[in-house]
Chains A and B, each alone.
Chain A
Amino acid sequence: MAVQSESFDVAVVGGGPIGLACAWRAQERGARVVVLDAGEPGAWHVAAGMLAPVSEAEFGEGDLLQLGLESARRYPAFCAGLEDPGLRSVGTLVVARDSDEAAALDRLAEFRRGLDLPVSRLRPSQARRLEPALAPTVRLALEIESDHSIDPRKLVAALARVVDVRRARVTGLRVAGERVTGVLTADGVVAAEQVVVAAGVDVARLDLPESARVPVRPVKGQVLRLRDPRGPGLVERTIRGEQAYFVPRGDGRYVLGATMEERGWDRMPTAGGVYELLRDMSEVVPGVFELEIEELLAGLRPATPDNVPAIGPGALDGLVWATGHFRNGILLAPVTADLVASVLNDEALPDWAAPANPQRFAGVAA
């Protein structure tokens, strides 16, 4: 890597969708930007890529919902500037297998309607008219026409074509007094006026002053990537059960995920994880049994204590965080990039971005 002699306005640590999108938006505003990436794909490589703020809306997570809706609204324009980003605007069905799950789904439907979110309740026969592959035993479904999906691998490839990405193993940040002046890599220092840290769960392993850290921990998720040898058509929409989701790519390929496990840095798929995913989804879409297994993978979501990401200025001058996106890194890429671009240009952030302020973790052990 021969970047030591160059200097940049902005160096971005991490070449996943968050880092790349931040670099792209900063570059559009005229900054000279470099993205430093170790070349080991992060959580995005495993992620299904659901753009589903409404399906994910949960009690007590209004701040996250607000961020998600903002980002979903920006997605069409965001993708319009990219070549083949893999966006599929086909909607989502959330499905209950039995009366217990139907009661739980009705509780969530009522909650979401109370927030004026677009949710329609479908009887089983209505749901099966939309998706004939749904099991006869399905008891209730919610249709969420505004929740879409994107192929994160295509998205990352599209973003990587429009920004300057260089292979580098980042070990820490260069700090002079209370100011970040560059990035430390295995091959030397990359000087930059401002540094955006978008390294996902790897921020937990960066060499940083304790006071400047944000608390991020890995939460393991296992997925199966499946392929229908007969081509597309098993299901058209994203299908979500209580414990598993099934995301069609539109070409006969599907992502079935995902477990949630607090297992540290362990990334091995397990028999139990795979069994549970197949059991839970086969009770909703029995046709999954006919699919071929292309990949078994586990990724590490970067989770914060309150499930809300860290987006904004850090405790050191020149340090900007864009991490801790947990289950929502793909969804939140556009809004994160816009917010980070504002921070890099010394603009004030909107009120709805305040819950993501990294300074809220001051005093929390990272």
Chain B
Amino acid sequence: MAVTGTDFLTIAGKTLSSRLLLGTGGFRSLDALAGALEVSGSELVTVALRRIDPAQHGSIVDVLDAAGVQLLPNTAGCFTARDAVLTAKLAREAFETNWVKLEVIGDERTLLPDAPALLEAAEELVDDGFIVLPYTNDDPILARRLEDVGCAAVMPLGSPIGSGQGLLNTYNLRLIRERAGVPVILDAGIGTASDAALAMELGFDAVLCATAISRAEDPATMAQAIRLGVEAGRLAYRAGRIPRRLYAQASTPEEGLPEY
């Protein structure tokens, strides 16, 4: 029986048919964002509260509203747990959603997460009633701790934000996937469609992508490519790949062939 289309992703009770989350940073124009968003099929889209004014008419928020997608505020640009918590609360008021993609950045040059501050902020926000989706390191123990404090999903990086280096530590990423009881979303590091497919083949529940699309020469076409990569990887995961073998194994058996 072929794998059918009824393959929904559920995060904190919310059902999504697209497994591609889109980030809104880096697009050259609002039209470029709108075009990529439509092609991506994404239903959950992140916005940095610190970089936009939610009340502004004709802004990114209007583009997302017109597309009918759910807005996922993020705390990009926060370097302390305190700032991240405060930003999440402002976002909850501004966007009327208790969902937050939690980022606490440890260093400007690498933009890697600050693990202790991230855990602290996650604990506080969950306690305050937020649906927390933390951007985290590819650290299986930290991912478990984030799940333990009540995060609705975990979002480990494939490689640093905007680096386009793909999935650098697939061993750790597999461990995170194997041990997680909540959805696991690959966040950061996607460079092109095959990176997204690989994440999905590893069993990730979804992929979040921003720079690879927004800064591509042709963002809409790259959005389509990455969407197809996500879909292909998901199908391959569900279909069950063959084991790797050292020696060849003929795909057509030789038994029963006529002899001349």
Contacts and interface: CB of A to CB of B under 8 A. Distances in A.
Interface of A: 58-61, 111, 204, 215-218, 261-264, 266, 303, 305-307, 365-366
B53 A264 contact: yes
B28 A305 contact: no
A317 to B, nearest CB: 26
A274 B59 CA distance: 24
B52 A60 contact: no
B51 A262 contact: yes
Interface residues of B, number: 20
B219 interface: yes
A127 B72 CA distance: 44
State the 4 A-B residue pairs at the shortest beta-carbon distance, nearest first: A264-B53, A217-B58, A264-B56, A262-B52
12 contacts: A59-B217, A60-B219, A61-B28, A61-B29, A204-B58, A216-B58, A217-B56, A217-B57, A264-B56, A264-B59, A305-B29, A306-B30
Nearest to A261: B51
Interface string B30-56: 111010000000000000000111011
B32 A60 contact: yes
Contacts of B32: 60
Contacts of A264: 53, 55-56, 59
Interface in B42-91: 51-53, 55-60, 62
Contacts of B53: 262-264, 266
Contacts, number: 52
Given A60-B219, A306-B31, 18 more contacts: A59-B216, A59-B217, A59-B218, A60-B28, A215-B58, A217-B56, A218-B56, A262-B56, A263-B52, A263-B56, A264-B53, A305-B30, A305-B31, A305-B58, A307-B29, A307-B31, A365-B58, A366-B58
Contacts of A366: 58
A219 B52 CA distance: 10
Contacts of A216: 58
Nearest to B216: A59
B28 A204 contact: no
Contacts of A59: 28, 216-218
Contacts of A61: 28-29
B28 A307 contact: yes
Contacts of A60: 28, 32, 217-219
B59 A58 contact: no
Contacts of B34: 305
A261 B51 CA distance: 6
A341 B205 CA distance: 58
Name which of B29, B59, B216, B219 has the most chain A CB atoms within 10 A of its CB. Answer: B29
Given A264-B55, A365-B62, A306 B29 contact: yes
Contacts of B59: 217, 262, 264
A67 to B, nearest CB: 15
Interface string B208-242: 00000000111100000000000000000000000
A365 B32 CA distance: 17
B64 to A, nearest CB: 13
A61 B218 CA distance: 11
Nearest to A364: B58
A284 B198 CA distance: 38
B66 to A, nearest CB: 8
